[in-house]
Amino acid sequence: MPLLVFLCAMSLAVWGTPTDKLIALSRDMNLSDTRYWHLLMHAPYQESEIDDPAFFLSPMGKNDPRAELEATIRRLNDDVNRSDESPFCRFPARRAWLEKELHVSFGRGECREYETLLEKLDPQKVTLVFPSAHINSPASMFGHTFLRIDSSMESKLMSYAINYAAHTQDTNGLLFAYKGLFGGYYGYYSMLPYYEKLKEYRDTETRDVWEYDLNLTRDEVMAMVRHIWELQRINSWYYFFDENCSYHMLWLTEVARPSVRLREHFFYYVIPPETVRAFEAEGLVEARHYRPSKRTKLLEYERRLCAEGISAVHALQEGKMEPGDLETSGMSIQERRYVLEAAAELVEYRYIEGKIPKEVYAKRYHALLSQRALLGKGEPLVVDEKANPDTSHNAARIRLAKGWGDERSPVLIGWRPAFHDLEEDDTGHLAGAQIEFLDTLLGVEDSKVTLEKFTLLSLASIAPVSRFFKPFSWRMKSGWDREYGGDRLSFVTRVGAGAALGEDRLYGYLLSEPEVRLGFDTDAGIGLCVGGGITWTGRMKTSFEAARIGYIEAPWKTKISFSHLWQWGSGGNLFAAYEIHDQHTREERIRFGTNLYF
């Protein structure tokens, strides 16, 4: 305590500028209207997006940047208490900026916790991290972004990740979706060792991870870290589409380098892959790195191992074979290396899934690695890097096409705010994953406008079964379309599940799909469909599907469809589609047009 009093006394002696004079100077300089003060306040306009009163020193601070700035000057200049919980220590970013702008010093304090954080972080560089979508998880189909503060250590695993996420303990999926969409959860920034986040995304959720090294200077990195400290334990409402994990990384980066305008790349929603593209467009990215997920690595082992090797991996993972038994298997030494490595990866994966007790996992994993060590270095497993997310098509889509049918031949105009469907080019996307919102298609013919399709929500996860993984495939759709004869509009909800075979570039699936139809020819039914997709070179893709559906009252329906597209870049593609609908009557439909993405 005596030391604290001494430091405070020294500080008072150093600054000595009257508070009223500093506030008057800030008014003359219009500091409260400057971009940087608004960045520190997270205020796009006058109102801050931070909802926690603890973030503000003025009772009017949330809605009045000037009141908050003057309250900040007053507290920084007048407060005698300069320990950890004081504004002097809680707001180092505000303090550093005001000292620079006003050409003053607010003196010294005793901010032990903040200094401890700086020592732990040793901040040198910043990396944007993008874990891709998690197959079979609708909540993760957009991917995720967070920042990593890199230290001077060579290993990035010891760095710290800065994450923003909603705090929730809800397990009801519908409640989670409602609150996520309309604001029922608080979001918080958090800081965790990077190896823990990597384990969560790459190993537990089997998501490929891309890392984008940013070219921020040390001073810019420090500006970001100071602001991160100000946001600890501070909450704001979380919204799935706009004020989400990726959006809050944009604030941090703009605070570090205010000349970039990342948030201006977005209008009504912020999708993680689009934020990667925004960082690229602002010239922030200087290097890219790819970390394959545990699932991707195991699939690569599958491709390299013979049938005997695959069987040995299963036997070792299940404890039905001892690692030393491979010596008499007749496999080459390199095959045995791959078998042991794959078995170790699979044992760890099963443990993460909760299918192996910790004691069994530890014993089995150690035995596999010990046997592997006896075989020498060998050839490392090389996993081909997948297409970078910033090469994917943009999220929003406008469709312009011409349709030809037995009854009508309208010009088709469509708009979809987000994001990707199975018929589109998979470059930069997780193959087999689909998530669409509000896909709208209008038909124009003879000066008459008709609603052709309006999809509220459409999801799909076509996850091929492999020798190591046995996921199920599923899809759902809810919305209006004209697929039920008579070219009239019906509202249909359909949910299907089944299985798929293949890999990213060639897959096929079989699904059973119950559906309920309202409007024209109201009915309910269940059917089977088979389909698949082929990705050719040159970003061309062919999709096909045949379905046979039986109804309670209406006659059976048959639907067959083919489509082919050529993607010329992130901005658009040309497509052609052919469909047969056969229920009350048989009708053929052809469409040809373009999709433009932005």
Angle at CA of residue 222, ends 217 and 228, nearest 5°: 130
| Average pLDDT, integer, range 59-78 | 96
**Which amino acid, 180?**
G
How confident is the model over 570-595, as pLDDT tens digits?
999 999 999 998 888 888 999 999 99
**9 pLDDT band (50/70/90 cuts)?**
very low
Please report the pLDDT score of residue 142 as a whole number: 83
pLDDT score of 5 more than 90: no
| Average pLDDT, integer, range 254-261 | 98
Angle at CA of residue 459, ends 470 and 456, nearest 5°: 165
| Average pLDDT, integer, range 12-26 | 78
**174 pLDDT band (50/70/90 cuts)?**
low
Query: What's the CA gap between 439 and 427, in Å, rounded?
Result: 21
Beta-bridge partners for 398: 415, 596
Beta-bridge partners for 32: none
- The HSE-up count of residue 64 (CA atoms within 13 Å, CB side) is 11
Query: What's the CA gap between 457 and 259, in Å, rounded?
Result: 38
pLDDT score of 147 more than 60: yes
| 268 vs 215, residue with greater confidence | 215
CA 17 to chain centre: 48
Name the one residue in this structure whose structure tokens are 């959006």.
Answer: 247
How confident is the model over 190-210, as pLDDT tens digits?
999 999 999 999 988 889 999
Helix (H, G, I), strand (E, B) or coil at 365: helix
What single DSSP character describes residue 117? H
Query: What's the CA gap between 486 and 587, in Å, rounded?
Result: 9
pLDDT score of 183 more than 90: no
Please report the pLDDT score of residue 269 as a whole number: 83
**485 pLDDT band (50/70/90 cuts)?**
low
pLDDT score of 412 more than 50: yes
| Average pLDDT, integer, range 502-525 | 90
Please report the pLDDT score of residue 280 as a whole number: 95
Please report the pLDDT score of residue 480 as a whole number: 93
Query: What's the CA gap between 193 and 304, in Å, rounded?
Result: 34
Please report the pLDDT score of residue 390 as a whole number: 87
Mean pLDDT score of the chain: 91
Backbone CA torsion sign across 82, 83, 86, 91 = positive
Please report the pLDDT score of residue 14 as a whole number: 45
pLDDT score of 8 more than 60: no
pLDDT score of 168 more than 80: no
Would you tell me the crossing angle of helices 19-28 and 65-78 to the nearest 10 degrees? Answer: 150
Helical residues (DSSP H) of 81-193, grouped into ranges: 87-90, 92-102, 112-121, 173-182
Concatenate the DSSP letters of all residues of 228-281 into one string. Answer: HHHTTT-EEEE-SSSSSHHHHHHHHHHHH-TT--GGGG-SS---HHHHHHHHHH
| Average pLDDT, integer, range 407-413 | 91
Name the one residue in this structure whose structure tokens are 């999220």.
Answer: 395
Please report the pLDDT score of residue 105 as a whole number: 93
pTM: 0.89
| 598 vs 483, residue with greater confidence | 598
Beta-bridge partners for 129: 146, 211
Interacting residues of 155 by C-beta distance below 8 A, sequence separation 6+: none
Query: What's the CA gap between 552 and 556, in Å, rounded?
Result: 9
Inter-residue contact 136 to 461 (CB < 8 Å): yes
Concatenate the DSSP letters of all residues of 277-335 into one string. Answer: HHHHHTT-EEEEEEE--HHHHHHHHHHHS-HHHHHHHHHHHHTSS-GGGGGGS---HHH
pLDDT score of 285 more than 80: yes
| Average pLDDT, integer, range 135-139 | 70
Please report the pLDDT score of residue 392 as a whole number: 92
Name the one residue in this structure whose structure tokens are 């958090």.
Answer: 190
Please report the pLDDT score of residue 12 as a whole number: 46
Please report the pLDDT score of residue 172 as a whole number: 66
Query: What's the CA gap between 317 and 306, in Å, rounded?
Result: 17
| Average pLDDT, integer, range 371-394 | 92
Tokens of 508: 């096929």
**550 pLDDT band (50/70/90 cuts)?**
very high
What is the percent of the chain where pLDDT is above 90?
Answer: 76
pLDDT score of 565 more than 60: yes
How confident is the model over 314-355, as pLDDT tens digits?
999 999 999 999 988 889 999 999 999 999 999 999 998 899
Helical residues (DSSP H) of 129-217, grouped into ranges: 173-182, 194-198
| 329 vs 397, residue with greater confidence | 397
Please report the pLDDT score of residue 554 as a whole number: 86
**486 pLDDT band (50/70/90 cuts)?**
low
CA 491 to chain centre: 31
Please report the pLDDT score of residue 520 as a whole number: 74
| Average pLDDT, integer, range 257-280 | 92
Tokens of 542: 């062919």
| Average pLDDT, integer, range 475-492 | 84
How confident is the model over 298-314, as pLDDT tens digits?
999 999 999 999 999 99
pLDDT score of 76 more than 70: yes
- How much of the chain is in helix, strand and coil states, percent to nearest 5? 35, 30, 35
- Assess whether the previous peptide bond of 419 is cis (omega < 30° from 0): yes
- Taking every pair of C-alpha atoms in the chain, what is the biggest distance, in angstroms? 92
